[in-house]
C-alpha cells in the first residue's frame, strides 16, 4: 500500500456501480454489496464487511480468493442478548396474551388470571444457546442472573482474533458440540439461536430437531432465518411440541404478507431488529479503525472470517 491514503465513497449495489479505475487502485474495501474479482481489484489486500454474517459472500469469486475478509460480528452483544431475555420474559409472563386482552379490551375473571396467566418460573429453568460465541455468552450471563441453567452449543473452541469490545468471560454450566444438539434441545425450556448461517447450519432445526425438543419449549431465533426449517417449525407449533416462537429473522425478508406465521397464535414477530444498538456506528467505527491500524502494521485482523468454517 502506498504511503498516502486516498478514500473513495460510493453508494453501490454491486461491483458494477464502482468505477473500474477506483477498484484498480483499491487496497482496502469496506462493503456489504461490492465483491470484486482479482482482475478487477488486483491490489485488494483486505475486505471489511459491513455485516455480521458472510453467507452472502460465499457464492462470489472473492470468497474463492485468498483476500482476508473480516466482519462486524459481535460488536454489540448486549442489545441482542437483552432481546433474547426480553422474549424469554415475555413468554414466562404471558405478555402476548395480556396484550391481546388489552386490545379486545377484556378484564378476565379470577380463574382465567390464575390458571392461564400464572408466570412460569425462570429460576431452575434451562436455556439452551445454540451458537455460544460472544453474543451467546452474554445471553448466558443474563440468564444466569435470573437463576437459569445454561447449556451452550459451539462448533469448537475460541477463535483467534475473535474478541472485540465486550466479550464476557463467564462459562456456561455446560458446553456441547454439534453432536450434542438434540440432547440440548431435549433438556431446554428455552432455545436461543445465535449461530452463524453456513452450509452446515442450514435448517439446523429441522423436523428431527423439533421432535427432540422438550414439549412446550420456547424458541427465540435471532440468528438467520435459514437456520430454521420454517415448515417443520409450523408443524411443531401446531402440534404443541413447540410452545412459543419469538422470531426476528426469516428465510425470506421482509416476511411475506401471506406467510402463515403472521397469524400463528404462539408466534411473536419482530422485523430483524434484535441486533440494533444506539452505539452501533461508534462500535463499528472503532472496529474498522483498529483493523485498519492492524492492516497497515501487518498484524492479525480482528473478526477474520474462517472460510473453512463458513463464518
Of the listed 272, 290, 294, 307, which one is catalytic? 272
Edge-to-edge strand ranges of the sheet holding 217-221: 174-176, 149-153, 126-130, 190-193, 217-221, 242-247, 267-269
Which tens digit of pLDDT belongs to each residue from 244-298? 999 999 999 999 999 999 999 999 999 999 999 898 899 999 999 999 999 999 9
Cell of 18: 464502482
Q: Which residues pair with 149 in a beta bridge?
A: 126
Of the listed 25, 61, 253, 282, which one is catalytic? 253
The yes-or-no answer on residue 10 being catalytic is: no
DSSP state of 228: B
pLDDT beyond 90 at 73 = no
Of the listed 91, 224, 230, 241, which one is catalytic? 224
What SS3 class is residue 87?
helix
| C-alpha to C-alpha distance for 78 and 167, rounded to whole angstroms | 10
The yes-or-no answer on residue 272 being catalytic is: yes
What SS3 class is residue 206?
coil
DSSP state of 180: G
By the 8 A CB rule, do 57 and 40 touch? no
HSE on the CB side for 140, CA within 13 Å? 25
Report angle CA 63, 284, 75 to the nearest 5 degrees: 85
The yes-or-no answer on residue 207 being catalytic is: no
Which tens digit of pLDDT belongs to each residue from 83-136? 999 999 999 999 999 999 999 999 999 999 999 999 999 999 999 999 998 899
Domains of the chain: 15-74+278-297 (no CATH), 77-269 (3.40.50.720)
**Of 139, 79, 138, whose CA–CA distance to 276 is shortest?**
79
Amino acid at each position: 500500500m502506498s504511503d498516502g491514503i486516498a478514500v473513495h465513497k460510493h453508494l453501490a449495489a454491486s461491483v458494477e456501480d464502482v468505477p473500474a479505475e477506483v477498484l484498480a487502485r483499491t487496497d482496502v474495501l469496506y462493503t456489504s454489496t461490492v465483491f470484486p474479482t482479482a482482475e478487477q481489484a488486483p491490489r485488494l489486500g483486505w475486505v471489511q464487511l459491513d455485516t455480521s454474517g458472510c453467507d452472502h459472500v460465499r457464492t462470489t469469486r472473492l470468497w474463492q480468493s485468498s483476500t482476508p475478509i473480516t466482519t462486524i460480528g459481535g460488536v454489540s452483544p448486549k442489545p441482542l442478548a437483552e432481546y433474547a431475555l426480553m422474549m424469554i420474559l415475555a413468554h414466562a409472563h404471558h405478555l402476548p396474551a395480556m396484550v391481546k386482552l388489552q386490545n379486545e379490551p377484556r378484564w378476565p375473571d379470577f380463574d382465567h388470571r390464575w390458571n392461564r396467566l400464572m408466570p412460569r418460573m425462570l429460576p431452575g429453568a434451562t436455556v439452551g444457546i445454540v451458537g455460544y460465541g460472544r453474543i451467546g455468552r452474554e445471553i448466558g450471563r443474563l440468564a444466569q442472573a435470573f437463576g437459569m441453567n445454561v447449556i451452550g452449543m459451539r462448533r469448537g473452541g475460541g477463535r483467534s482474533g475473535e474478541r472485540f469490545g465486550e466479550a464476557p468471560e463467564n462459562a456456561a454450566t455446560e458446553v456441547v458440540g454439534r453432536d450434542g444438539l438434540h440432547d440440548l434441545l431435549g433438556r431446554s425450556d428455552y432455545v436461543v439461536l445465535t449461530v452463524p448461517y453456513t452450509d452446515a447450519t442450514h435448517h439446523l432445526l429441522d423436523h428431527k430437531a423439533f421432535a427432540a425438543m422438550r414439549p412446550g419449549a420456547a424458541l427465540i431465533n435471532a440468528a438467520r432465518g435459514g437456520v430454521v426449517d420454517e415448515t417443520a417449525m409450523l408443524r411443531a407449533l401446531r402440534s404443541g411440541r413447540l410452545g412459543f416462537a419469538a422470531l426476528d429473522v426469516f428465510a425470506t425478508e421482509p416476511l411475506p404478507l401471506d406467510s402463515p406465521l403472521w397469524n400463528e397464535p404462539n408466534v411473536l414477530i419482530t422485523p430483524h431488529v434484535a441486533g440494533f444498538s444506539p452505539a452501533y456506528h461508534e462500535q463499528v467505527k472503532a472496529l474498522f479503525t483498529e483493523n485498519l491500524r492492524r492492516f497497515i502494521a501487518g498484524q492479525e485482523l480482528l473478526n477474520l472470517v474462517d472460510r473453512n468454517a463458513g463464518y
